[in-house]
Amino acid sequence: MLANFIYFSIFENFWLSFVSPFLTFLGIYIIINLDRAGFFWAGFFTGILWFYWISFSFIYYDLAWLMPVVILGISLIYGLIFLAASFPSFVALRAILLFVFSYIAPFGFNWFNLEATLVLGAFEPSVRGLGFVFLAAILASYLKGAFKLLAILLCFVCALQFKSASGANLPFSLELTNTKIEQTNRWNKDLKNEQVDEILALIQQAITAKKDAILLPESALPLFITHERFLRQRLLELSKDIAIISGALAHENEQNFNSAFLFKDGEMLRFDKHILVPFGEEIPLPKFAKNFINKLFYDGASDFATAKKVSDYEIKGVKIRNAICYEATTNELHKGEFDVMFAISNNGWFLHKILPSTQPILQRNLLKYYATKYGKTIYHSVNGSNSEIIAPKQSLLKGKFGL
């Protein structure tokens, strides 16, 4: 039930969305009234339903045999988090602990976000909205009869989203691109020139369509731009007709960076990723363990280096926050003054042509949550899944019932 908002989002159905937060409430109510073993298994299977797709990335490191181990490890972590919330005897205290523990980010991975379970339906995806859903579950555990029903309804009213934020819109035309390159081919050196030619063709099409800017996905250029003098020159020439934002790699001072590059008016700017993916781009463990894991599983590769702070740039007077994949779903990237966010992702790591993946759906819901929380519009260019413009959630009270 805690995962329903992920799977209901597949259908984009109003009534499923409307029902979704009530199932979240029911899930919380059931969990806080379980015994300790029940808490553990609730967390265990929640971990699977939310994050089984993380294991898919190991296919592309030729470590597919680790997939069940990864799924088991993730499930155990969330099973133990839920189990820790079960130790008090009082249901209310258990609920409070579960609420608090839901804000724990194991190894810095913050995608288990119970506030985001309310991005569907009429409730506000916020501390207030989630808090009243938990309070409804607590009161339902203690009260009986009409008092129980009245208390639950009152909590639901308090959890409603009453106001709608509206993010800024771009005053210029943007080509929001989408690519479908499989991860098995992404870093194939024999296909590098073909992939670069496809990107150049997309840029040329945008110029022909008289677009002011083009946003390309993370790793759209599967190479180190810092090593490609002729390609840089070509992009600089094209940038006299259109602003180009593309993901690629950079190398400087014996360090590698996952970066976004802006080519505009014959000049190039580089914006390095500020927050890395735990266990994907960095190993969030002590140095001795980090070196061991990198040597054992990643052929001795070192972690990516990072920018010291978030990156912003301007196009036609619009202040744009740069975000590369995972960091677009963190609080830090949404703080401060900016107009819109340009986010780029390569979801190919978590997709497979045979195995279904809910990663893009969960990512979209998390982006919707942050867009709503901070009142910003996110322009998201993706490889592997759909690109889209993500605006803040609108109140169903106003949009559907005219209130």
> Which residue has tokens 């249901």?
91
Report whether 160 contacts 123 (CB < 8 A): yes
Active site includes 155?
Answer: no
Active site includes 218?
Answer: yes
Active site includes 158?
Answer: no
Q: Which of 117, 82, 42, 66 is nearest to 279 (CA)?
A: 66
Contacts of residue 146, defined as CB under 8 A and 6 or more positions apart, other chains included, come to: none
Catalytic residue among 115, 124, 175, 218: 218
Catalytic residue among 273, 373, 376, 393: 273
Q: Cβ atoms within 10 A of the Cβ of 357, count?
A: 18
Catalytic residue among 325, 327, 368, 373: 325
Active site residues: 218, 273, 325
